Amino acid sequence: MSELVRTHRDGDVLVVEIDNPPVNALGPGVPEALAAVLDAADRDDGVAAIVVRGAGRTFVAGADIATLEDAAWGDEAAAADLHDLLRRVEQCRTPVVMAIHGTALGGGLELAMAGHYRVADAAAQVGQPEVNLGIVPGAEGTQRLPRLAGVAKALDMCVSGRPVTAQDALAAGIVDEIAGEDLTASAVAFARRVAARSSHPLTSERAERLGDPETNAPLLAAARAQAEKIRRHQVAPLKAVDAIEAATRLPFEAGCRRERELFFECVRGEQAKALIHVFFAERAASKLPEDMAHLTPAEIRTIAIVGGGTMGSGIAMACANAGLDVILTDATGDAVAAGEAAIRTNYDATVARGRLTPDAVADRLARIHLTPPAAFPARAVEADLVIEAVFEDLALKQRVFREIDAAARPGCILATNTSTLDIDAIASATSRPEAVIGLHFFSPAAVMRLLEIVRGSRTDLDVLVAALAFAKRVRKLGVVVGNGPGFVGNRLMFPYMYETQFLVEDGATPAQVDRALAGFGMAMGVFAVDDMAGLDVGARVRKALGHFSDPRERRPLVHERLVAMGRLGQKRGAGWYRYDEPRKPTPDPEVEALIRSLATDAGIAARTISDEEIVDRAILALVNEGARALEAGVAARASDIDVIYVNGYGFPGWRGGPLFYADRRGLGEVLARIRAFHREHGERWRPAPLLVELAERGGTFRGGALHGRAGARSR
Ligand code: 3HC
Ligand code: NAI
């Protein structure tokens, strides 16, 4: 028998274990092996019931996404058709109890729903996350889930892609029982209880929760509206609704055929290619490079944070949320109190939104030890990691690092949250530059998933490995980047931001630019982002990075003027936009007049700018600088840049990130467009040599951008 599926007997119950590490995906061989075991069990009169579980850390995490990727790129036969397996499971003479621990996702939940019964570990989660990959459930999930859980629940799970807890699944009717401490024992006991029943429930034959056209119509309409809202521009969520609608109208088999058609429509589309690319790119980014695979990361349990402002307080929450202890200090007792107040306000808002209970918040607050500056050196010795988050000022950071160096224990990692400064210059202030690393969190730090891990020229590999493990521990996506100006994310951001500022000088308005970028799929327009971050922040960074020191370069005219006028963005009620209501940007004729007058004085005649030009000039500025970042070696892989932009800068995942987007558009066309901009706008548009090289030899970023470095899974 295949090793992919093992069995053992517990009296008259056959326990079947799917063992396909790491997450028991239904990859090649698994469906066949499982079907063979069920065939044999059904023929064996000594087997009264069957329990199916996953080996290791989880039940089945779904269909094999690697084969789905092959299907998305043209090898459609690679996408396993699980229909025969699921029919086999459901038609077993012997009752089948699915024992779920970890996560039953996608094809995993679909397999579980084909069983007659489901018992779940209390900590398990189940879901249909296929929309995250740009597809709809393709193994009867859209047909079985509404039959078990009702139309509304199925719509919510398939459109949002969010998994639900075992308790929620029990309440919804997806699982039948929550297990005690020992899942297998509970499932076996359950199996014995049901074995003697004369018949067992078949999900495919249930119809009582499918509603009727009248009650379903508003649910389907609401789901389509939800899809437009939370997954704007995405195809799969709407098709998932179509598939569930089919479940409500068609017999089971016909509904499954409709689902399969919709599944392949998605698999063939661009969005599935892009989102599957992002899935593998994220895992590739956070994986240890081969030369470090042998290193065991030092455990980080206690984190000291110096500077409890916007970032420091958010980082403290991120750590406490992950169950870590935090020692938080600032320059003065008042500043510590202000940090604490910010943390409490944020947690209160989370409670008000129903996302956390007051008890959970109390537990997290108890982990954050507020420490006045005088007491800090004595407490800092407890820390395994110190994160500095004081103002962005090199001299100040060096001074703070000298103090931290004196206080921290040997072996402690010293990290800075700087967004632009040279890690080596900061490290040079300490007696242990090998222990210094950049941990560049994004704002709001408790929410944003991206963490740029900046490797200084002397950073120890052990420190890097520990930082990657820490990222995972605090549920961040750690991406290792080099120590160049702006690292990767901000390095690309500036050409993008400046280009949009030139666009408004050339005749567009901030609102038009932001609309065009939102139309492209960016989460927020660039001017709205600048207002949110604060125009003063951008101005400081621009100075720190020494931009526009060459007088021949075109220099943005308006930003500095807005800063001088005190229009610093949302916090002042005015920036590029006006904010009559908090966080709601309104186009401001005063700013538009200012732009026109400054541009006219500089001899720039306003012209009509198309949305297409806006998108090309903004997005291709990202692409060209992305190629330079790869060349400079600050990004190790093209796919790392994609991951950073999707997770940190609101780039649409369904376009796969800037470099994937460029690949799909065709590097030849991208280069031609950049060359045209170069002729028209001058040196800032000089094509990156790597882009020229790839375009001229018909290559792609994904296929291997540089010196054999490839994307996530090269193709
Ligand atoms: N297929 C293939 N590989 C998978 C996989 C899958 N469904 N799910 C995870 N993996 C791989 C990852 O690529 C990674 O491989 P690596 O170690 O070589 O990089 C490894 O498993 C571990 O994954 P994570 O690093 O993500 O581990 P975590 O413990 O953090 O998370 C998880 C585990 C929650 C299962 C997470 O991996 C996950 O969410 N996976 C995707 C689940 C999913 O989307 N399932 C639906 C698939 S599509 C489908 O089923 C279609 C069907 O309807 C026909
Ligand atoms: P902030 O101004 O909100 O907070 C800085 C804090 O440092 C203040 O509370 C201040 O009192 C404290 N501080 C100053 N000197 C100190 C000292 N000697 N000892 C202890 N504390 C001291 O600034 P913010 O936004 O939190 O930024 C902090 C760092 O994070 C900067 O390096 C910034 O570049 C970086 N960063 C900021 C992001 C953002 O979006 N705000 C994003 C990513 C990084």
Q: Which helix (H) or strand (E) holds 119?
A: strand 117-120
Concerning whether 3 is annotated as a catalytic residue, the answer is: no
- What CATH number does domain 490-704 carry, 1.10.1040.50, 3.50.30.10, 2.30.30.40, 3.65.10.10? 1.10.1040.50
Confidence category of residue 713, pLDDT binned at 50, 70, 90: low
Which tokens go with 686?
């000089």
Q: Residues enclosing ligand 2, CB less than 6 A? A: 306-312, 330-331, 335, 389-392, 396, 400, 417-419, 440-443, 533
Q: For this structure, is 205 an active site residue?
A: no
Mutate to test the pocket of ligand 2, among 329, 330, 332, 493 (most ligand atoms within 8 A of CB): 330
CA–CA gap between residue 242 and residue 417 (Å, rounded):
46
DSSP type of residue 456: P
Encode pLDDT of 629-686 as tens digits.
999 999 999 999 999 999 999 999 999 999 999 999 999 999 999 999 999 999 999 9
Query: What tokens appear for 304 in the block?
Result: 């000291």
| Ligand 1 pocket check for 329: Cβ under 6 Å | no
What's the 622 CA to ligand 2 centre distance in angstroms? 27
Under 8 Å between Cβ of 188 and 13: yes
Ligand 1: centre distance to CA 269 (Å):
21
Residue type, 127: G
Closest atom of ligand 1 to 63 CA is 50
Q: What is the pLDDT of residues 202-223, one digit of tens each?
A: 999 999 999 999 999 999 999 9
Q: Return the DSSP state at 635.
A: B
Q: Are 92 and 133 in contact (CB under 8 A)?
A: no
1 band by pLDDT with thresholds 50, 70 and 90: very low
Of 69, 110, 505, 625, the active-site residue reads 110
Q: Is the bond preceding residue 289 a cis peptide, omega within 30 degrees?
A: no
Q: Angle, nearest 10°, between helix axes 333-352 and 358-367? A: 160
DSSP reduced 3-state for 16: strand
Q: Which ligand is nearest to the CA of 421?
A: 2
Residues 271, 272, 278: CA angle, nearest 5 degrees: 90
Q: Which two tokens stand for residue 417?
A: 């949250």
Angle, alpha carbons 273-274-280 (nearest 5°):
90
Domain coordinates in residue numbering, the chain: 5-268, 299-486, 490-704
Rounded Cα distance between 319 and 183, Å, is 31
Ligand 2 pocket mutation pick from 340, 386, 390 by most atoms within 8 angstroms of CB: 390
Is the Cβ–Cβ distance between 47 and 35 less than 8 Å? Answer: no
Which ipTM was obtained for this model? Answer: 0.97
How much is the pLDDT for 540?
86
Q: Which residue has the tokens 């327009």?
A: 525
Write down the CATH superfamily of domain 5-268. 2-enoyl-CoA Hydratase; Chain A, domain 1 (3.90.226.10)
| 90: region left, alpha or beta (phi > 0 left; psi from -120 to 50 alpha) | alpha
pLDDT confidence of residue 709: 34
Is the shortest distance between the CB of 283 and ligand 1 below 6 Å? yes
CATH of 299-486, one of 3.30.1330.80, 3.30.565.10, 3.40.50.720, 3.40.50.300: 3.40.50.720
Strands 577-581 and 584-587: antiparallel
710 band by pLDDT with thresholds 50, 70 and 90: very low
Q: How far is the CA of 394 from the centre of ligand 2 (A)?
A: 12
- Answer for the pair 658, 615: CB distance below 8 angstroms, yes or no: no
* Average pLDDT over all residues of the chain: 95
Query: Same CATH topology for 5-268 and 299-486?
Result: no
Q: Which ligand is nearest to the CA of 144?
A: 1
Q: Whole-prediction pTM value?
A: 0.96
Q: What per-residue string of b and e applies to 406-445 under the rule 16 or more CB within 10 Å gives b? A: ebbeeebbbbbbbbbbbbeebbebbebbebbbbbbbbeeb
Q: How far is CA 578 from CA 16, 510, 517, in A?
A: 63, 12, 19
